[in-house]
A and B are shown apart, each in its own frame.
Chain A
Amino acid sequence: MSTEAIAVEKPKRNYNVLFGLTLLALLVLLWILLSVATTSFASANNMANLLRQGSMIAIMAVGQTFVIITGGIDLSVGAVVGFATVVVAMMINAGFPIWLAILVTLLVGVAIGMFHGFGIVKMGLPPFIITLATLTSLRGIGLLMTNGNSININSDTFTAFSRNSFIGIPNLFWMVILVGIPAYIFLHHSRWGRYLFSVGSNAEASRLSGVNVQRTIYMAYTLSGLCAAFVGVLLAARIGIGNPTQAEGWELQAIASSVIGGTSLFGAVGSVHGPLLGAFILATINNGANLLNVNSFWQRIITGALIIIIVYFDGLRRRGK
């Protein structure tokens, strides 16, 4: 963040930065506590694993945040991930080059996002409904395509990518950076980012100010679909199979990461760094709970409690201003 940008919207940005630092402090605190409490947490192996776990939710959460800033919601992202694993697996197994398989899968994500935009803008459906419909339909289409079976991907080059690291950091985490930096510039330093906020704040005022509201909504859902399809590619590489029932419930984790990261479900409030931190906080809790042999059922309860606490304090802070 340049100093100029801080100066432009002083109170808001300061608050954003402060909130981001609080989340970062929480994450670091969790890491320190877990390093002390368990012997295995701080191991290189576990840290790499943690980063891999968190990366995929983090990328989905960024796309999800774009949508939530416009005042919408994208419930389909988990299903898109599962469907994308099927598409990429089938294409690789059919002998297409890997780059083409990935490109087509990403385009499928774009198409799904465009369809959501179409349903909202042209058919007047609520975002909740249209993406809920896609959530269930995509799983069904994927199951039809695979006959309910998993597809084993027969390309080692493809699957090796997710296991490898570059200068000591897992490739999957590099992907977060690859998505995060352009996403940050897009949201905070381009006019399209501004329009996402303005549409989320007041679509009518934006329209009267010359903002193309329809295109902005298309854009938000398309980016969310694209991020989800990208995560589908990463997941396929990580587990080596294409399976439409993968990533069950990930949409809720993506939404939770976004909300923990300070995004307001009422729209017009959000950032890129927040959801990223939110995703890694969730991943750390799950990872730590595993290491501490906490019943995995408890992990879900902790996640729920954390959402309530963070959003409550965030709300207090905002009202207090």
Chain B
Amino acid sequence: MSMIRFVTADGLPGFLAHLAKDGQRVLVPVEKPANKPSVVFEPWQEGKAFTLAKATVPPKEAVLPQCETLFSFKKAKDPADPARVSLQLEEAPPPPPTVVFACRPCDARGFAVLDRPYLHGPFADPCYKARREALTVITLTCASGCNTCFCHWVGGGPSSPEGSDVLMTAIEGGYVLQAITPRGEACLAASALPDGAEVFPRAEEARKAAWQSLEPAPDLKDAPQRLAALFTDTTFWQEQTDRCLSCGACTYFCPTCYCFNITDEGEGLSEKGGRRLRSWDNCMSSLFTREASGHNPRNAKALRMRNRVSHKFATYPENWGSFSCNGCGRCISNCPVCLDIRAIVLAALEKGADA
């Protein structure tokens, strides 16, 4: 049996304080009041209010910041021979150890989706690897679904452990913490929290009730072939994307979108120097694939949406054996024109069934 601990609701700040000691960065969901209130992950500190609500923005930045320095560069002159210059490149410092606290199972599965191309392709990404290896994920299991999320369509569920080090489930009076990985076990073992084995059956009941509350899921196993078959059906993609604004909100809110751009910033090769940056990119933008010559293989929004949906439901599965959509539903709830990726996939399945 895995290691189980119990924490009361009042005891959570104490647990966070324990996690945050030794300078570890603990990212917690924080409410941001505004015209449109949101919940975002922010570093916790003593006294900071947090929430256990599902975050509006996933915790992807823990491993893939919106913008990060890959390395910095500058030119150095030899003081004895000023005509002799050398180029100095400096790699980014190691990232701080980080805990993501109270993300949801879909968010945690996002890390597993990113791990495949970033760690297991022909090249491992050193910046991602350093952040990932310093990351502990404590996931709050969901008590129910919501009307935009669909994790159980795509291989997940309200208590899916994939990508998590610790699963945390609400029961009456507090939370049951279950270690999933050795890292999670070490994290719980180092805490002063009491054993929770006795109340674990209540967590299991809560998880079971969450599963039972879900609507039946459609079968998506044919989605990869159906989407591939529709590749040249431009009319289908135009119909599905007519109202898309190409704003890219779907990609920025996605826990599994991982495309990036690389740009330089600063003074170039001077003594002050500059930096090479990696920043999130957006496949819905017309600039994403436009070549310097002006040629653009995806010169219409229908073709760009085709790529986005196909990547999640056809080509990523072709390469890695799993959908790269986790069903968190954020692209649906944050789309300004209410585009629904579920509807596109279902339409593709239906269209294939007609043929």
Chains A and B belong together in one complex: no
Task: Point out residues on A near B: beta carbons under 8 Å.
Answer: none
- B-side residues, CB < 8 A to A, are none
